[in-house]
Structure 1
Amino acid sequence: MATKTAPASAAPAEESPQAARTAGVSSEGVTTVSEGATGPQEPAATRGQTSIAAGVVEKIAGLAAREVPGVHALGGTLSRTLGAVRDRVPGGRASASRGVKVEVGQRQTAVDLDVMVEYGVPIRDVARDIRENVIAAVERMTGLEVIEVNVSVVDVRLPDDEVADDEPRVQ
């Protein structure tokens, strides 16, 4: 990764808002992954910056966790209920980051997940698979190092808990 260098005779300048953003997390939750370089002598791929919003990491982690067999849903009871109402509103759409919280730094991230599992699955195995899948997806797609994935199993879906989503409640 190329880094910015200043001439030896250059005096330190006041930090600009742009420089503050490259130092780590901004107030909008956006993180800089690479500082970038400037000048015609630098390769085109290194000119500029790459920043990743916390919401992007949340979506990646949420989708990766949902791919694991044995995971029924993400989020606590209240967030799933509110999400189901929002999903049924015309124009509403499912939130990929429901039940996911992340803390994103300059080069690392931590992920917290609230998970509802299917009855009968080994919870330790599902949690391990969630960690492996989330870490692989986030690190591959963002380049950030995932330092931890905390899995909270908040509920178990019993086989006869709910009516299938495709079936209407009344005929």
Structure 2
Amino acid sequence: MPETTDRTSANAGTRSRNEAGEKGTTLKGRRGTDAPGGMRGDTTVADRVVAKIAGMAAREIPEIHNLGGGMARAFGAVKERVPGASGDITRGVSVEVGERQAAVDLDVIVEYGASIVDTAGDVRANVIQAVENMTGLEVVEVNIAVHDVHLPDEEEESEGGGGRVA
């Protein structure tokens, strides 16, 4: 009887923590010299990596003004004013990463005049493509919550001035 290889168990992932204690997923490779070079060993992808990929992919859609809702945007605006601090690309992004799958939740602000339904579809497609291509994880869902619509004449929260107190 010919010997068969069970690829599903050879490539199954497990949850783990990296050296910094962050949660992530470990994609298990095959062992031994008979396995192709690209399949030997394990690859660990931290949850924060998936969140960054999803955040960047969502921001690539032109109709997306910003990510984050209410308090997240307020804290982000304060953080951006601190010298040396940079904006957090994962603001407004929440992910759940399992062994072989990921789910993404996004809080977005859409530009006025854009079709919310079409924009959400574009964001979903871009996030799914980016996360799946970069991590090898299957994205099972991308949930989008539209928190606001950015009007053309609204000032940015990060711009200074205009206040009564100097």
1:125-140 to 2 correspondence within 5 Å? 125-140=118-133
Instruction: Specify the alignment match of 1:47 in structure 2.
Output: 40
Counting strand residues as a fraction of each chain, which structure ranks higher?
A: 2
User: Counterpart of 1:32 in structure 2: which amino acid?
Assistant: T
In the alignment, structure 1 residue 141 sits paired with structure 2 residue 141: no
Instruction: Specify the alignment match of 1:81 in structure 2.
Output: 74
Instruction: Specify the alignment match of 1:157 in structure 2.
Output: 150
SS in 1 for 2:145: strand
Deviation sequence 1:21-59 (CA, Å, 0-9, x none): x752235421012x1233344333222100101100000
SS in 2 for 1:136: helix
Instruction: Specify the alignment match of 1:120 in structure 2.
Output: 113
Deviation sequence 1:140-162 (CA, Å, 0-9, x none): 10111000000000111111221
Deviation at 1:77, TM superposition (A): 1.7
**Is the contact made by 1:2 and 1:46 (CA closer than 8 Å) also made in structure 2?**
no
**Is the contact made by 2:13 and 2:100 (CA closer than 8 Å) also made in structure 1?**
no
Query: Which of 103, 125, 142 is matched with 1:110 structurally?
Result: 103
User: Counterpart of 2:24 in structure 1: which amino acid?
Assistant: V
Instruction: Specify the alignment match of 1:30 in structure 2.
Output: 24
Aligned-residue identity in percent? 54
Q: Hey, what's the Cα distance between the residues in 2 that align with 1:40 and 1:32?
A: 21
Instruction: Specify the alignment match of 2:53 in structure 1.
Output: 60
Structure 1: runs of 5+ lacking an equivalent: 5-21
**Is the contact made by 2:13 and 2:99 (CA closer than 8 Å) also made in structure 1?**
yes
Give the alignment's TM-score, normalised by structure 1: 0.80
User: Counterpart of 2:15 in structure 1: which amino acid?
Assistant: V
**Is the contact made by 2:77 and 2:157 (CA closer than 8 Å) also made in structure 1?**
no
**Is the contact made by 1:116 and 1:153 (CA closer than 8 Å) also made in structure 2?**
yes
Moved over 6 A (4+): none
Structure 2: runs of 5+ lacking an equivalent: 1-6
**Structural RMSD (CA):** 2.3
Instruction: Specify the alignment match of 1:19 in structure 2.
Output: none
Deviation at 1:3, TM superposition (A): 5.9
Deviation sequence 1:71-110 (CA, Å, 0-9, x none): 0000012111111111121110111111000010111100
**Is the contact made by 1:3 and 1:36 (CA closer than 8 Å) also made in structure 2?**
no
Aligned length: 152
User: Counterpart of 1:169 in structure 2: which amino acid?
Assistant: G
**Is the contact made by 2:109 and 2:148 (CA closer than 8 Å) also made in structure 1?**
yes
